[in-house]
Amino acid sequence: MPSPSAALYRVAASGPADVSGVEALFAGGLDPKTVVAVLGKTEGNGCVNDFTRGYATSAFEALFARHGATGVSIVMSGGTEGALSPHWTVFCRAKVEAAPARALAIGVSRTPDMLPENLGRRAQIKLVADGVRKAMADAGIVEPGDVHFVQIKCPLLTLARVTETYARGETTVTRETLKSMGFSRGASALGVAVALGELDLDGIDDTDICNRLDLFSGRASTSAGVELVDHEIIVLGMSDAWSGPLLIDHAVMQDAIDTASVRAAYERLPPGKLAAVLAKAEPDPSGAVRGRRHTMLDDSDIAATRHARAFVGGVLSGLFGMTDLYVSGGAEHQGPPGGGPVAIIVEKATA
């Protein structure tokens, strides 16, 4: 009986345009048309002017065009501070001759383009919530509780976008382009929370975004970039309709050194090969971790999100014994303040 089955490949990258490892997978027999999503960690600064994200996206768009593959979600997250390794995580799905058995399910969607005046406001929350529901349907996931990680690439404001908006008589949530990244990430994360039933849209005001940090999703991972004006959404979860060896679970780190929650999630999964670790990181806004002062928010030379990626990347690398982790900075409304969601995917051992 045919059933959908997921496959996952972690591929090293020597630079933002290095797609040779994925090209080698295609040469080795992987059908390019089975690829549904690529998550990338590029070595830029992760800020507004991080053009490594767009550079990598263009390289993958050209790669897929050469192979006739369309509709692939390409989500690039800049920043590999510390010892994080630049890499690509390639997600595939295909029909296989196997009876359904509970396994990793993947769904994708894209929202319509969003006007700049809606960024960081309830309109963005609703737009993203609708997109997450479409991605769940694409994955065949019915129960929100079966969703373990939602990765979103969302837009940000540039000076040109702000100027154009005010010229039309509208306003933006901020005129500061760097600050707009946080508003976009935060509103997108709240959209995930609404879609998964973690929060009610009616209970969220515009002024709550990036202010009421008690409102969050335990399964959202959002990353803002200049290279798009819509939202790319990837839903990862479990489904009884899928088959294959891949399984996923998640934890919510309560702070940047909460390895106990991550270990517990890892232990819930069956023995097997570690396929991928996906995480969010942010500097605790209180200025302390377990009562001890940190200086990430006081550094005028390096963005706090860069410190957080390096710190949490080091914590998780030590736990899992690998450096090619997908650690994304900026966790507004993504887990509790100073913490963040972590998804773990394993390939279960076969007899």
Q: Is the dihedral of CA 54, 162, 335, 232 positive or negative?
A: negative
Q: Is 223 annotated as a binding residue?
A: yes
- Would the pLDDT of 4 be above 90? yes
What is the tens place of the pLDDT at every residue in 11-22? 999 999 999 999
pTM, full prediction:
0.95
CB of 6 closer than 8 Å to CB of 149: no
What is the rounded CA–CA span in Å between residue 280 and residue 341? Answer: 6
Active site residue 126: no
- Would the pLDDT of 351 be above 70? no
Q: Is 336 annotated as a binding residue?
A: yes
- Would the pLDDT of 292 be above 80? yes
CB of 141 closer than 8 Å to CB of 239: yes
- In the chain, the domains with their CATH numbers are 1-99 (3.30.1330.170), 100-244 (3.30.1330.180), 246-351 (3.30.1330.160)
What is the tens place of the pLDDT at every residue in 92-142? 999 988 888 899 999 999 999 999 999 999 999 999 999 999 999 999 999
Catalytic residue among 126, 153, 243, 280: 153
Q: Token pair of 152, please?
A: 């979103």
DSSP codes joined into one string, 283-309: --TTSEETTEE--GGG-SSS-HHHHHH
Active site residue 243: no
Q: Is 217 annotated as a binding residue?
A: no
Catalytic residue among 184, 217, 223, 239: 223
Q: Is 78 annotated as a binding residue?
A: yes
Q: Is 58 annotated as a binding residue?
A: no
